[in-house]
Structure 1
């Protein structure tokens, strides 16, 4: 798992755990002191926030566990996968586009960072240079021809090579 993603998830988990352990109990106690709980909006809002924080905390911990299971050795060397940078020709737009497949936490379409779980990411996974991926969009299907592929392994080898120089 990329270190910056792990750090961000851990920060989010820490912040939510603090809110759950310290801030929300104080809010609930303060709201309960106001009296009748059946019509106490502050109390109900604090309880709803507590449920939300609990659920979000569960999601983040599950995501951490999922990401820690990613084994980079299992990522293909010759096909589009997580970490790949791929140049495609979009026949519907008649233009070349470069995408990097990343986790959902890192995705930023404006920078060409697309999630492996996005429609484009899912369509490109497993493709090789010369293959065409069909992406189903609300405005119709898009055909993306894979022109160039740099896998996460290629990038790691290039980084190691430049570090040696």
Structure 2
């Protein structure tokens, strides 16, 4: 059994949509490529056929991995979270103590992390540093430039 991963409903839906796309359109496209390559004659020296069969193998491997991830996925119920502490699925507003800049991040699983959408991984240095902190506490986060301190201003679920 694989490792259990926690997702938001939105994140799990994205995975399921991707799996459905791979199983339908992805398999259809590969089948077309194989058929076209097969029509070109001798399969023993047909590079297009070999490439299409390799692509089919990669697609099936990706489908199997995604099925495993989805099979071990759990949707988090944020109503059971302690709203006074930073945890997975919490949106936390923090202030850099050194320069006063504020920013908000939502802590999510590694697979859902997207810095542009202000979603950071719980396993990242930021996620680890913020986890369990309460409003008013200071998180010391190890960055490449050294330790940076952030004050927790708000926590929302």
TM over 0.5: yes
TM-score range, shorter chain: 0.7 to 0.9
Cα contact 1:82–1:102 (8 A) shared by 2: yes
Q: Which residue of 1 aligns with 2:36?
A: 30
Task: Mark the runs of 5 or more structure 2 residues left unpaired by the alignment.
Answer: 1-6
Tell me, yes or no, if structure 1 residue 40 matches structure 2 residue 83. Answer: no
2:61 paired residue among 33, 55, 58:
55
Cα contact 1:87–1:97 (8 A) shared by 2: yes
1:95 paired residue among 93, 98, 101:
101
Query: How high is the TM-score relative to the length of structure 1?
Result: 0.70
Please state how far the C-alpha of 1:87 moved relative to its aligned partner.
1.5
Please state how far the C-alpha of 1:57 moved relative to its aligned partner.
1.7
More strand by share: 2
Q: Secondary structure of the residue that 1:68 maps to in structure 2?
A: strand
1:125 paired residue among 112, 131, 137:
131
Q: Which residue of 1 aligns with 2:147?
A: 141
Aligned-residue RMSD, C-alpha: 2.9
Please state how far the C-alpha of 1:69 moved relative to its aligned partner.
5.5
Q: Which residue of 1 aligns with 2:3?
A: none
More helix by share: 1
Deviations 1:2-45 (A, max 9, x none): 44333322221111011454331332233244345565332232
Tell me, yes or no, if structure 1 residue 4 matches structure 2 residue 10. Answer: yes
Q: Secondary structure of the residue that 1:147 maps to in structure 2?
A: strand
Deviations 1:54-95 (A, max 9, x none): 232233223323333545465333321122121212134431
Query: How high is the TM-score relative to the length of structure 2?
Result: 0.72
Tell me, yes or no, if structure 1 residue 75 matches structure 2 residue 43. Answer: no
Q: Number of aligned residue pairs: give it.
A: 151
Q: Give the Cα separation in 2 of the matches to 1:144 and 1:40.
A: 60
Task: Mark the runs of 5 or more structure 1 residues left unpaired by the alignment.
Answer: 153-165
Higher relative contact order (CA 8 A, sep 6+): 2
